[in-house]
Structure 1
């Protein structure tokens, strides 16, 4: 523990003059809980849309491709009759092939749309003069135990960019903290204090009870302050947006009063590990085409991804109050993947939901390692599986239901893929070792042998690979035919080389993610809740021992699959090589992808690497000026040394709701008992653990007592 200062005296209290108010006056807005069994009357009647023929075209093309693929697979399996296991394989193949076919067709649509110069469904002008904005916009940054220095630097850079447009006066900025770590809580307030002196429209609110997680955080803000704003922009802790993008979004909402939400396409930036760089390259290369495809046929029934989107506050309040799902966790309780549900409820009430994939100036980051990605994916998996209970909700648009189905499918296809592979091995083992039933119950002069058509099987495999690879090549074509974009990737050759390397690495990591996602689905089905864990960011440094331990399961499964295939035949082994190789090499591939990379790599470079947007450099500059964690900082020491910080914290506590009588916080009770037992301030700092310290920080009277306590004799002479 570092040196402890003496309590602040009355003279020193004068420095608190001019302390910013952490919150504005309340502007309450009702947010009633919605019913999934009764649909409200729509606010806006649906208008005639070109989306019908587009959706019909997408669905018809998907159905035809799926029929062709399943029919060909049936021809593979029907030789000698279809056994029970072969029937299972055929059913699994039908679902998996339909999933791939829909993605392929959407990609084709995106390629055609961008090739023709299509913009978006709102015809949003991305290059012309900035429009004027008269609406009041709230910028909301929910945060949970994140690094305040970088999080608030991103928010400040976004604010400065918005002020530079001349419309900054229309935007207010809110830090909505659900942080539970006491040291992070105090550091958030330090960083806020450093920024608030130069920004009177910056506000900070800490929520003592973080029920319903992010959706509850936003709901709390809407109910307290939503009445004062026309629109709100939801950010993530890693979000950065330019003022140009924000002003254009606000102006588009003003021009289209029946639009409830506009979702941008965030570009991944600041990748520091090879895994993150692979995600960044893939998102930048393929993302615009894929997003344009779904935006082209989703139309006014697009989806919401929870951040980097602008929302009409009144519509959100009236339509999206989320109920708790019945039953126990993980399927019951608060809705985790709330964004899909909020978009569906807005659309149910008649509000249009749009995506604008061509708007520039929206950025985010990705987890640095596959393990961090899988941890986040585990939470998303639980949230998406919860949507099965919302699918039958009354009044939903069928495209909204499709969003739920695709979200569920993104995770259940992993165990289906695993089951498909295992069933394929079992079929081969049956053909190799199990004696055939020479004469079945139906009379036949000839025995029925388990058999498949290997030539047709090769064609089915090639067709499936084509559906996966062709969209990547089409995205590359869109890059190559546009000079600015081509140069942004370092030229045509580097773009092609990056695509080949990314395809190879994604082929190696996809089987491992299949195991992780299958495990997640199994855990959730067995009743294991994901909780609310801190998302790791940074360069992805993980000790090799931890890598070997965490990737042991995929490796063992890969060895088992390889052994089973070799017991049957070499052809089966070679057919399964793409999957087996990724699993067997899981540990070295993970160790490789965890490694740090340069900011301007020779391979996998993106336009934001070679020509960084100024706002990203500004984030780094601002972060360097903000208070940073010293590793062993104690929040109680910080309050004792820094009177403005202490007063700001006390002012924030005045906005906390009063404790309900009869409900006792055990951590606060323990903290109070220790305070009563202590003689010196240093004893409290040493005795309290994190939960007790957090409870103490949430009680103004007890915290005042602690900060005013005398120092121990060995610290009595120290001053700061």
Structure 2
């Protein structure tokens, strides 16, 4: 157990009261918006009275709302902080006001790289700049790299052992390196890290967690260590993660949207969640003593079948750390680490379904003793992220049937209230991206970083259309998967294909024909019976209807190359390349920085 002696003071009491007030304000805003949205939906469905379909539609809409409403208010709060506060980061992370960046490092930090069937050369490409930076800082001996392999592919294992042996030989006198491979990946990634904790955890104070596709610069790691040293109450500190510049059209547009959505959302949520922040499993730093003592994960019983291990381990570890009395916080700075995102829709769906299965395990932890109220909210919201998907699909199916069997669309839904509801949902849905976009447009430095106001606005429109197509495809995929999950159809810890590649028509058809059938069935029925209702249905039906060509086009290498040349999805790293990324020789950076496309500021 960690020896901690909290000092009670007037300042501490004021901080507790302040964070309680913030949480109460968020709860009131959240509840009021939920109630107002449901009331508007009831008004919209009021023509002809309330039948079974109307009641079912209201219930389904209520299930979709928590994730949307939470995102809206996080974005609004984040936007206000970004625009009003002189130091938005310190506003949500008070310890940052005490960090100068030259504090001596006294702690021993392990860097944990978890890999499974990854090309070792690609992993090492991301590691060596970090190792060089740590050595150059003069603190290399304060760190130790542990390569924790769960690889099972024989063709990869032999090359993996040789590559990491060579890496260790090059760096061992400057940053010690340990390579270990488990034959059986019990507990998946969480089990991999737990095995490290049992063998070597007592040798170190902190651990920085990395995924196979993570890239962190030495400066970012040094910053996280200094913060942990300055705040002994911190148990987990999560850094904001952004996408590495890519030549995949799918990844480029997705990462552009993620860059916009994450900043306002994370700052806003950090303002009221405070010391009950998130942990995303990588690009973060852990205090090892309480992590080892309090964050061990149970094996889940599966009604007489083979026991289940927790897939989405990170948020459970975060709530256990907070229940033990240690703080969990997020540092919303965009230079703390990068990751590679899936290059195609099909690869994205594979990763997304693994998260879906993992989040569905969270319900077993609601009754866990000692959890904070905010922690229970976080687990519930993580579940709502995915159970909202079948609710959205249910809205499409029941809404289509309701309009078809009504004498006219106006007999089923009021045009004025219905349009107001649709616009309100779209604004709430896109609010994290809208908030950051406004901040970018009012900031000359950020505008230029994204290629100028003109290119930025074009990309914002492209990403908006992209999301309207993508999200219903994912929602229907979650719906099919959750239905199978009830019958024992699960997904394991699968590897990712990270390199750009084309998606053949036959592969897209094999994976996405149910989506296509759903989308075109809804639109076709409405076209025959009530064509005036099609604009409402497009929000949910267009994506599934276009799923196959969307998957093929966004994965097409020629289209990805064109996107790089003209600046579709351009990130700030492509406008002004950070030195820390130069050594990675990313193919997306050089063409983008040399593009002759004019930009307006």
Give the TM-score normalised by structure 2. Answer: 0.90
- Of 283-292 and 346-355, deviating more is 283-292
Question: How far apart are 1:346 and its partner, in Å?
Answer: 0.5
- How many angstroms does 1:541 deviate by? 2.3
Query: TM-score, normalised on structure 1?
Result: 0.76
Q: Give, in whole Å, the separation in 2 of the partners of 1:427 and 1:549.
A: 31
Structure with greater Cα Rg: 1
Report what 1:527 is aligned to.
Answer: 488
In the other structure, the counterpart of 1:420 is 395
Does 1:256 find its partner at 2:214? Answer: no
Q: Deviations over 1:274-330 (max 9, x none)?
A: 110012111222221111111111100001000000000101000011110111599
Query: Equivalent residue for 1:176?
Result: 148
Q: Structure 2 matches for 1:689-704, cutoff 5 A?
A: none
User: Of 363, 380, 387, which residue of structure 2 is paired with 1:388?
Assistant: 363
CA contact (8 A) 1:138 1:172 kept: yes
Q: For 1:401 and 1:146, locate their aligned partners in 2 and report how far apart those are by CA, in whole Å.
A: 35
CA contact (8 A) 2:75 2:431 kept: no
Q: 1:111 matched to which residue of 2?
A: 79
The answer to whether the 8 Å contact 2:278/2:318 transfers is yes
Q: Distance in 2 between matches of 1:387 and 1:191?
A: 38
1:544 to 505, 510, 513: 505
| Larger mean Cα displacement after TM superposition, 259-268 or 592-601 | 592-601
1:308 to 266, 283, 297: 283
Change (3 A) 1:540 1:402: farther
**Distance in 2 of aligned mates of 1:377 and 1:126:** 38
CA distance in 2, matches of 1:525, 1:559: 27
Give the deviation of 1:179 after TM superposition. Answer: 0.5
Contact residue 345 and residue 396 of structure 1 kept, 8 A: yes
Q: Is the 8 A contact 1:330 1:530 kept in 2?
A: no
Pairing partner for 2:326 from 335, 342, 351:
351
Q: Report the alpha carbon displacement of residue 343 of structure 1 after superposing the two structures with TM.
A: 0.6
**Alignment pair present for 1:502 and 2:463:** yes
**Residue among 132, 144, 152 paired with 1:160:** 132
The Cα shift of 1:361 comes to 3.1
DSSP 3-state at the match of 2:247: coil
For residues 341 and 127 of structure 1, do their structure 2 counterparts lie closer, same or farther at Cα, with a shift above 3 Å needed? closer
Q: How does 1:505-520 map to 2 (within 5 A)?
A: 505-520=466-481
What residue is the counterpart of 1:454 in the other structure? 415
Name the counterpart of 1:90: 58
Aligned to 2:572: 607
Alignment of 1:146 onto 2:107: no
Return the alpha-carbon distance in structure 2 between the equivalents of residues 78 and 576 of structure 1: 19
- Helix, strand or coil: the match of 1:576? helix
Distance 1:233 1:297 in 2: 25
Q: Distance in 2 between matches of 1:51 and 1:454?
A: 42
The answer to which structure has the higher helix fraction is 2
SS of residue matched to 1:535: coil
Report what 1:326 is aligned to: 301
Work out the CA distance in 1 between the residues paired with 2:50 and 2:132: 66
1:559 correspondence with 2:520: yes
| 1:483 aligns to 2:475 (yes or no) | no
Q: 1:235 to 1:451 in 2, by over 3 A?
A: closer
Contact 1:130 1:248 in 2 (8 A): no
SS of 1:542's equivalent?
coil
Q: 2:250 aligns with which of 267, 271, 275?
A: 275
After superposition, what is the alpha-carbon deviation per residue over 1:348-376, rounded to whole angstroms, capped at 9, x for unaligned?
01010000002623111111111111101
Match of 1:204 among 168, 179, 200: 179
Offset at 1:80? 2.9
Residue number among 277, 288, 299 corresponding to 2:274 in the alignment: 299
The structural deviation recorded for 1:478 is 1.1
**Aligned partners of 1:42 and 1:519: how far apart in 2?**
48
Partner Cα separation in structure 2 for residue 231 and residue 283 of structure 1: 29
CA contact (8 A) 1:541 1:594 kept: yes
1:232 pairs with one of 203, 207, 210 = 207
CA contact (8 A) 2:256 2:570 kept: yes
Corresponding residue number in structure 1 for 2:23: 55
Q: How far off is 1:91 after superposition?
A: 1.6
Cα deviation code 1:255-286 (max 9, x no counterpart): 11111010000111132211100121112222
| Distance change >3 Å, CA 45–CA 332, structure 1 → 2 | farther
1:130 positional shift: 3.0
Report the 3-state secondary structure (helix = DSSP H, G, I; strand = E; otherwise coil) of the residue aligned with 2:539.
Answer: helix
- Give the gaps of 5 or more residues in structure 2: 587-601
d(CA) in 2 for partners of 1:581 and 1:479?
Answer: 30
Classify the secondary structure of the residue corresponding to 1:131. Answer: coil
Alignment RMSD, CA only? 2.3
CA distance in 2, matches of 1:330, 1:164: 52
Is the Cα–Cα contact under 8 Å of residues 396 and 540 in structure 2 kept in the other structure?
no
Task: Return the offset for 1:193.
Answer: 2.3
Distance 2:273 2:222 in 1: 24
Query: Does the CA-based 8 Å contact 1:600-1:609 persist in structure 2?
Result: no
Name the structure 2 match of 1:617.
582
Distance 1:332 1:105, change over 3 A: farther
SS at match of 1:551: helix
Contact 1:153 1:620 in 2 (8 A): no
8 Å Cα contact 2:63-2:384 kept in structure 1:
no
Alignment of 1:644-659 (within 5 A): none
1:187 aligns with 2:159: yes
**Using the alignment, how far apart are the partners of 1:501 and 1:605 within structure 2?**
12
Native 8 Å contact 2:294 2:321 kept in 1 = yes
Say which SS state the counterpart of residue 124 (structure 1) adopts. helix
Deviation at 1:399, TM superposition (A): 1.1
Tell me, in whole angstroms, the C-alpha distance in 2 between the residues paired with 1:499 and 1:329.
50
1:581 corresponds to: 542
Q: Deviations over 1:502-557 (max 9, x none)?
A: 10111112221111111121111221120222111011322222122222111111
C-alpha spacing 1:269/1:331, structure 2 compared with 1 (3 Å): farther
Paired residues of 1:600 and 1:610 also in contact (CA < 8 A): no
When the two structures are aligned, how many residues end up with a matched partner?
568
CA distance in 1, matches of 2:420, 2:369: 43
Structure 1 residue ranges without an equivalent (≥5): 1-29, 31-39, 434-448, 622-720
Range with greater deviation from structure 2 (203-212 or 453-462):
453-462
Is the contact between residue 73 and residue 90 of structure 1 (CA under 8 Å) also seen in structure 2? yes
**Alpha-carbon distance change, 241 to 130 in structure 1, aligned in 2, over 3 angstroms:** farther
Q: Output the CA distance in 2 between the equivalents of 1:41 and 1:350.
A: 12
C-alpha change, 1:504 and 1:43, in structure 2 (3 Å) is farther
User: Structure 2 CA distance, aligned partners of 1:619 and 1:566?
Assistant: 51
CA distance change for structure 1 residues 234 and 466 in 2, over 3 Å: closer, same or farther?
same
Aligned residues of 1:336 and 1:380 also touching (Cα < 8 A): yes
Following the alignment from structure 1 to structure 2, what is the Cα–Cα distance between the partners of residues 543 and 572?
A: 34
1:65 deviation in Å?
1.6
With a CA cutoff of 8 Å and minimum separation of 6, indicate the structure with the bigger relative contact order.
Answer: 1
Note the C-alpha offset of 1:90. 1.1
Q: Is the 8 A contact 2:245 2:571 kept in 1?
A: no
Q: Measure the CA separation in 1 of the matches of 2:393 and 2:185.
A: 37
